[in-house]
A and B are shown apart, each in its own frame.
Chain A
Amino acid sequence: MATAVRSRIRTLKIDGRDVSAREDETILELAEENGIFIPTLCRIEGLSLVGACRLCLVEVAGMNKLVPACLTYATEGMEVFTDSERLRNYRRMILELLFSEGNHICAICVSNGKCELQALAQRLGMDHVRFANLQQERLVDMTHERFVVDRNRCILCARCVRVCDEIEWAHTWDIKGRGVDARVITDLDTPWGESDTCTSCGKCVRVCPVGAIVEKGRAVGEMAKRHDFLPHLAKMREAKK
């Protein structure tokens, strides 16, 4: 009697192209492997996936709702569409909502020209924001010796929370509140400079995609960031567990 061998390879279609994926591969990884662009903001290589930004939404044939490509695994016979009028509209709307919830005056931001949100806004053709700004005033914390958190620039991607917890193992950062009231906090919502857990390693600065967590003393457009250290450290952490 032949034993059914469970295949670890899935064959599916992305934008009409036949592709094959490993069973543990997400649509996003598969798309990237095949040179297909899907916008992302919260996803970062080396950290867990949270699906916070929803920019990577794609369409799947037979499903009414959109699914986040970063969190959806490839299945046999799946038909994925990464680009459509509907998706372009939603992606642009998400970007506009991010801009309208906070303060994104790029012209006076330390991350001007080096910001993932700004770059995506340009790439996806956001020429203006249709929603009125919420005019929220979020706390800027400058109590840390070397770093600043300007919550008005924060897009709640939770990269800082994850890097601090998963790589530095300090868990200084968290997100408090829901919806438009959500804020990043340090320790129990106490000043960063007084934190008992923060090791001042600066990893949160390097993964923050925007000008929210930055080094002190930077002028407009000076806050370049690199996070190529992440995949390597993530592997070492994995080995240690």
Chain B
Amino acid sequence: MSKAPSKVTVATVWLDGCSGCHMSLLDMDERLIEIAKAVDIVYSPLVDRKTKDYPEMVDVAIVEGAISSSEDIEKIHMIRAHSRILVALGDCAVAGNVPTMRNPYLVKDIESRAYIENVNVQPQVPDQVVPKLLPFVRPIHEVVPVDVFVQGCPPSADTIYFVLSELVAGRTPDLTQRTRPGA
């Protein structure tokens, strides 16, 4: 008796992005059912999961968002160490994109704008819970190696479907003619 082929384990992660890429992922509609037959989502803001810890090793990590805070840096190193293939999903992950619009400003000015100037009750810059902003927002590949770059803001559901189908089939998706920055 043949055993059912083992599924590809996938984690999805949301760093400094707007969640639009995750929305685009859900936008695959009924194709999600087909994908679900070959893929096991083991970690994601989209699903309930038993533990909050990242698994020891996942086959594919799909990361949305740029690297903006001390927490993002820790997370991306952890994800890289525990994932076989790292996919940068969307322009924020690939290029920094909209979050980099703060780069011309000093962090202390941004914090003061957000937590002091525009606040009526107890204005103060948080020194706990909220992660510290880095001086510059950066794309993922400037921090850890990335295997697949998926441009687009957000990449279309068709593009994401193509990426997943190729990865499940054991191929590296060639995206150059399927998407572009700002697509």
Query: Which residues of A line the B interface, CB within 8 A?
Result: 99, 104-109, 112-113, 118-119, 121-122, 125-130, 132-133, 135, 137
Contact = CB atoms under 8 A, between A and B. Distances in A.
17 contacts: A105-B95, A105-B100, A106-B153, A106-B180, A106-B181, A107-B182, A118-B182, A121-B180, A122-B177, A125-B177, A127-B149, A127-B175, A128-B146, A129-B139, A132-B138, A133-B96, A133-B103
Contacts of A109: 182
B153 A107 contact: yes
Contacts of B149: 127-128
Nearest to A105: B97
Contacts of A107: 91, 97-98, 153, 181-182
Given A105-B98, A112-B182, A128 B176 contact: no
A122 B101 contact: no
B171 to A, nearest CB: 16
B54 interface: no
Contacts of A104: 181
A151 to B, nearest CB: 13
Main secondary structure on chain A at its contact with chain B?
loop
Given A127-B176, A133-B96, 5 more contacts: A104-B181, A106-B153, A107-B98, A107-B153, A135-B103
A128 B141 contact: yes
Given A132-B142, A135-B136, A113 B181 contact: no
B81 to A, nearest CB: 21
Interface of B: 88, 91, 94-98, 100-101, 103-104, 136, 138-139, 141-142, 146, 149, 151, 153, 175-177, 179-182
6 shortest A-B CB distances, which residue pairs? A106-B182, A107-B153, A125-B176, A122-B180, A106-B181, A127-B149
A128 B182 contact: no
Contacts of A137: 104
A183 to B, nearest CB: 16
Given A128-B88, A137-B104, A122 B97 contact: no
Contacts of A129: 95, 139
B138 A121 contact: no
Nearest to A111: B182
